[in-house]
A and B are shown apart, each in its own frame.
Chain A
Amino acid sequence: MIVCLAVVGHQNNPLYIQSFTEADDALKLHHIVHCSLDVVDERVNNPKKSGPTLNETFLGLLYPTENYKVYGYLTNTKVKFILVTTDLDVRDTDVRNFYRRFHAAYVDAVSNPFHVPGKKITSKSFAERVSTIVKSFGLSSSS
């Protein structure tokens, strides 16, 4: 299950952060997302010299905590997506698929002429769409 999803802007500021748990652990998830930005920085700033993955947007598993796994994604405009999940057995392809759909939703949200770039995303339709994507996460693989 996805417990937290975040869009992080250029100044490493949260543009959209939503937790999907019942418990009051929003703060803890904020910390996890915030810490994972260090790994994103590390991966982006020290790119591997060669390899076909230079233009890869999907950053993979950022770091495992005891209860969560954190995955990263970097858009071509250097906006970061962070995903925190409690599933300890996640397939990369699922995460990739999820991110592809989420990226599309994000692009639609920021293409809104009333959205000011660099400000928080407050669109309700975006939130709804995201929650649908989150709910469908992992279903395709199990079915």
Chain B
Amino acid sequence: MEDYPEELRTPPVALACLVGCPAVHGLITAHLHSQQPPINTIALPDFSKISVIPLKKPPRENSEPVGGIIRRDWLSKHRTRIPAVVAALFSSDNVYGDPAQWLQVCTDLENLKAVIRGRNIKLVVVVVVVTQSGHKDDTSEDRMTALRKRAELDAKNLIVFVPDDELELKQSLSRLWTAFTELANTYYRDEGRRIKTRLEKKNFSSMELNVRYCFKVAVYAEFRRDWAEALRLYEDAYHALREMVGTSTRLPPIQRLVEIKAIAEQLHFKMSTLLLHGGRVVEAIARLRQHIGNYRKLVGAPEVIFLHWEWLGRQYLVFAQLLETSSANVPNVQSMVSVPADKPTEWEYYPAYYYQLAASYLKEKKLCLEFALSMSENVGQIDGSAESVVASAYLGQFARLLEHDNTYVMQALTDDEYANHALAEGKRFQDSFEIIALLKRSFEAYSNSKAERMAAYCGLQMAKEYFSVSEFANAKQAFENVASLYRQEGWVLSLWEVLGYLRECSRGISSVKDFIEYSLEMAALPLTNNAVEPSFKDCGPAGPASLSQRAKIHEEALEVVRGESEENRDLKVNSDYPLYLEIDLVSPLRVVLLALVAFHQQTVKPGAPSLITISLRSQLPINVEIDQLEVQFNQSECNFIIGNGQKQNTAAISHVQPGRRVETAPDLVLATNKWLRLTYDIKSDQSGKLECMYVIARIGQHLTICCRAESPASMDDIPLWKFENLVETIPIKDPSLAFSGLKAIQVEEPDPQVDLTLGSTGSALVGEIFILPVTVASKGHAVYSGELKINLVDTRGGGLLSPREEEPFSSDNLHVELVDISWETHEDHSETRLDNIQKIQPSFGLISVPSLEEGNTWSCKLKIKWNRPKPIMVYVSLGYYPRKGEPSLQKVHVHKSLQIEGKTAVTISQKYMLPFRQDPLLLSKIKPVSDADQLPSLCLNESSMLIVSAKNCSEVPLRLLSMSIESEESNGACVIKPQHEEFKEPIVHMPGEEFKKVFTVMPKVNSTKLKIGTVSLKWQRDSRNFADDKSQVITKHRLPDVNIELPPLVVSLDCPPHAILGNPFTYSVRIQNRTELLQEIKYSLADSQSFMSSGSHSDTIYVLPRSAHTLRYMLLPLGLGPQQLPRVTMTSVRYSAGFQSSTASSIVFVYPSNPHFKASDILEIRKDSIAAD
């Protein structure tokens, strides 16, 4: 587009001319140019210069032959030299001056009118008021009228211009612009109409004139900004021109076509510009298609066919540039709908599409030009004469410029001369770089719109172009980009072509490594057709894509490696330049060599042998013989080398380091797509992961291929071949190994030769500090830098032992905790403790173990405290180095665990009892309250008995040391006796036994909720052989609160402790009234078979306030043994409460005769009777 002249590329702008008064030209020019629409100006300082406006030519004779279609300079003439309006500027001094000045004004005006009349140019007269002299009198009015008449103007076209005053200046300028615009429009309309009438009347003698007239009218319409009219006439011109093809005979055939195409190009350019600026993209594209369709077939004479391709390419290029610069948005392209054939498809909205086409035609042009140059030998000879060929006066024509008597004469060319000229011109340009530039733009545009395949295609063309001008480095880079896409998507044939180019590029830059890599990749491509199909012949520099060609390329690469290649002298491989290829998991060379490594086991003991299988496969067409294979591991001492049994003496063995294991395989030949399987033993002394890293193949003396080992379990399909229908083979004979084998094996730790013993001592008891002895005994290994880790874990899960870290540790929320670790040392106890204990937390401990010689033992004691009954697991692990000073060695670990049950040792319960055979009436007991809610009730000021029983729940005998009750209420609200009792000799408490202790309680305060206190029982394990104070445990039990009340009535029974058969005794029932009221009591006595009784049987009595009444009976026992006394039933009328003595309290033992007791026996009996209660 930049090749086009300025006047063609920009829309026409009206032209005005200023004559005279040069001082104000600047002002006016600037103003006119800045308006919308703008007006360009020619400024002439004085009237003598008006001759620059060309005079009107005499009208054409109809018989005169037409020289061409459009004059080359016609447009520029109208843009820059023929104004639509001329403004004659006169100074007011001159207009109002003396007659001489006035005469001068008139003369100038006349001259001007004479010049412009022929062209029908409009006139404006401007009177520039130089100084505000202010004489606007009659004479000046007369002068103005005279001037207007002389100039034959309307009043509005005579403008008084006042440059000094700002406001007036503004008005003057705007008036000037209005007048200019109006007149210019009139001028261009008149001119257009004038020519249009010729068109309408068909008043033209030739087709050329038809085109020319249409063109002119269109341009005039553009001057008027009548775009629709302009477009219509350009179209008319275009169609008229198309009809000229084949009918015009004015010029020799080649030049005739060249001229028509040049005009067509310009017309089409104008139309496209108008359409695109009007936002009519679809129409513009349709017109381009039509345009190309019209002229594509008009290739012209074969010797200058390159001109046609160049022209076509230019059409696309210009359109691409127009599309790129036009602001019109690409309309929303309909998608997923079949695009009708007459609508543009997606890519046709993108400039990239046209750039690409332009490039492809330019390439075509280049090819044809080269061909034409090679055909014509005499281009050089006529160079001299070709120089004198210039563009002639008509667009699209060329002529020879001859110097003839100091004047230049244009002489028409013959077609041969023209062809030579075109060839000579064509030779001057470097098309390749232009092609590359175009393709690069296209490539970038496609890449930006995510059309990677289109972009790749452009990249491929670009690379080929670089290749053609021998810029191998650039070409190689571009080809590589393209190749990666083809590899990824498996377009083998395209890849073959690209790799062929890459091979040549590598040869061009003498990069032997790249050359070999590309050659091997090509040789391993999945192209299996043997018969050379005709359609696969033209596949780039590497030749036809076939199996035989692959073999040839493979062979060639091997020759280069061996240094035997004749044709590739630049590619050197020898001992100074050895070749080292690396194949990783993403390398395209995986098809060349694939190395799978699988251990047969997953874990192995250190030092024990394990089988390893190395499977190699290649897709190269010819068998490859490997001289030496080296297998490398992450533990370099395991590396080994497999030599080729057939080639024992090759120099490749010289790579072997001394002391390296060398195996020999019968042969190391890789056949196409067949696995070479090698199985060997491998041993590792070092525990940890043993992983195969690389399998390195050496072929010949100077080629090394380092292939990263892969696991069969995680092997990806090899690229490209995965789409082929190949026989599936498994890399290892064992199918399970082929799918799950790994290239790494876990070498286990050496077996520990140290015993770790946890001295279990049964279950622990809540509250005590449980001691767990841990013994480390060396049985063959010395222990260095030993560390003992202890973990306490809740067996039922749940994080009870390790509360969340942000919470502060407190013994309340810890059910079990590790309190301390202690051990005996020979040195100062406290010091070593500080050094060695690294960490003790409630559930975790870490201590270091001193170095132990073989056979020595060491032990420590863990002290664990249970706060709640809970089973836990204790995990103890010992890590150590068996040898001193070898930190690289693996640590050996021993683990032990033990479950320990935590149990409650003692449960304490209590019971209250009233004194024997004395029953107070407690009113709270009468009320119907559920038993659960009821607190035990005690009588105020009466002593009651408290029986505290402790049951041994554990499985070991305990030794009870003391029991005490700590009262909670102060100031003697309740008197308890005894407060504290140390057992004189410790009571051994067997499992399941219950120990009871009796206290007396006498409440002194009437309270519904009296706190009695807490029972503390001090005990220790009975089996403890060291009876230090620390091992004593105190179990506490809080006694429940009691209700204290004052009983209104107390009934007490009285009878002797025992009776003797036949001896009467007195049995009395005493009713005590403790109230201030008279109490009515009804009572009755039930007879008993065992006794004869005397006394009142039933009656109602009144007990006076604060006094007592006693019922007395005389009883005579009749039976032996424990006998039920006659039972007395009483009812208090006031409280509606009945009383019947309990069965237990109303039993007496009847002896046959008077017994003889010892004092101690009596005590025993008493105690028994209490216990039985």
Contacts and interface: CB of A to CB of B under 8 A. Distances in A.
B489 A13 contact: yes
B406 interface: no
Interface stretch (A100-108, A112-120, A135-143): A112-120
A44 B723 contact: no
A38 B453 contact: yes
Contacts of B335: 42-43, 46-48
A83 to B, nearest CB: 13
A26 B536 contact: yes
B525 to A, nearest CB: 14
B987 to A, nearest CB: 87
Interface string B458-476: 0010000000000000000
Contacts of A12: 453, 489
Nearest to B338: A60
B779 to A, nearest CB: 60
A39 B345 contact: yes
B142 interface: no
Contact of B346 (A37, A39, A69, A89): A39
Contacts of A42: 335, 346, 451
Interface string A2-34: 000000010111110001011111110011001
A9 B338 contact: no
Contacts of B535: 19, 21, 23-26
A47 B491 CA distance: 27
A34 B338 contact: no
Nearest to B544: A24
B887 interface: no
Interface residues of B, number: 42
B105 interface: no
A130 interface: no
Nearest to A121: B725
A127 interface: no
Given A30-B493, A35-B453, A62 B536 contact: no
A53 interface: yes
Given A35-B453, A92-B338, A30 B491 contact: yes
Contacts of A35: 453-454, 457
B980 interface: no
B733 interface: no
B900 to A, nearest CB: 61
B534 A24 contact: yes
B336 A13 contact: no
A11 B490 CA distance: 8
Contact of B336 (A23, A47, A61, A119): A47
A25 B457 CA distance: 15
B490 A27 contact: no
Contacts of A14: 490-491, 723
A58 to B, nearest CB: 6
Given A38-B454, A118-B723, A119-B724, A60 B337 contact: yes
A59 B497 CA distance: 30
Given A35-B454, A64-B345, A53 B336 contact: yes
The secondary-structure label for the interface of chain A is mixed
Contacts of B345: 39, 61-64
B452 interface: yes
Given A11-B489, A30-B491, A43 B454 contact: no
A72 B357 CA distance: 22
A63 B446 CA distance: 15
A46 B452 CA distance: 16
A56 B336 contact: yes
Given A15-B723, A120-B724, A27 B494 contact: yes
A10 to B, nearest CB: 10
A63 B346 contact: yes
Contacts of A34: 453, 456-457, 489, 491, 494
A111 interface: no
B1097 to A, nearest CB: 111
B339 A61 contact: yes
Q: How large is the interface on A (under 10, 10 to 19, 20 to 34, 35 or more residues)?
A: 35 or more
- Find the residue from A12, A38, A59, A64 having the highest chain B CB count within 10 A: A38
Contacts of A41: 450
Contacts of A62: 345
B434 interface: no
A122 B341 contact: no
- Find the residue from B334, B345, B536 having the highest chain A CB count within 10 A: B345
B725 A48 contact: no
B534 A22 contact: yes
B433 interface: no
A59 B536 contact: no
A46 B525 CA distance: 35
Nearest to A52: B337
Nearest to A61: B339
B1108 interface: no
- Find the residue from B452, B491, B540, B722 having the highest chain A CB count within 10 A: B491
Contacts of A43: 335-336, 346
Contacts of A30: 491, 493-494
A21 B533 CA distance: 11
A74 to B, nearest CB: 9
Contacts of B347: 39, 63
Given A48-B334, A48-B335, A90-B341, A9 B491 contact: no
A58 B338 CA distance: 7
Nearest to A88: B341
Contacts of B451: 38, 42
Contact of A26 (B339, B450, B493, B724): B493
B699 to A, nearest CB: 31
Contacts of B533: 26
A116 B457 contact: no
Interface in A52-109: 53-54, 56, 58-64, 66, 69, 89-90, 92
B538 A13 contact: no
A92 to B, nearest CB: 6
Nearest to B488: A11
A122 B723 contact: no
A27 B457 contact: no
Nearest to B537: A24
Contacts of A69: 341
Given A30-B491, A42-B451, A64-B345, A24 B536 contact: yes
B690 to A, nearest CB: 36
Nearest to A29: B535
B730 interface: no
A11 B720 CA distance: 11
Nearest to A20: B535
B336 A27 contact: no
B464 to A, nearest CB: 12
Contacts of B488: 11
A13 B490 contact: yes
A120 B357 CA distance: 33
A13 B941 CA distance: 106
B539 interface: yes
A60 B348 CA distance: 15
A43 B724 CA distance: 29
Contacts of B723: 9, 13-15, 118-120
Interface string B416-452: 0000000000000000000000000000001000111
Contacts of B334: 48
A97 to B, nearest CB: 13
Interface of B: 296, 334-341, 345-348, 357, 446, 450-454, 456-457, 460, 488-491, 493-494, 497, 533-540, 722-725
24 contacts: A11-B488, A21-B535, A25-B535, A26-B493, A26-B536, A27-B494, A27-B538, A30-B493, A31-B457, A34-B494, A35-B454, A37-B453, A38-B452, A38-B454, A41-B450, A42-B335, A43-B335, A48-B336, A60-B337, A60-B338, A61-B340, A61-B345, A63-B346, A119-B725
Given A27-B538, A43-B346, A48-B337, 7 more contacts: A11-B489, A19-B535, A48-B336, A56-B338, A63-B346, A66-B357, A92-B338
Top 3 A-B pairs ranked by shortest CB distance?
A60-B338, A13-B490, A26-B535
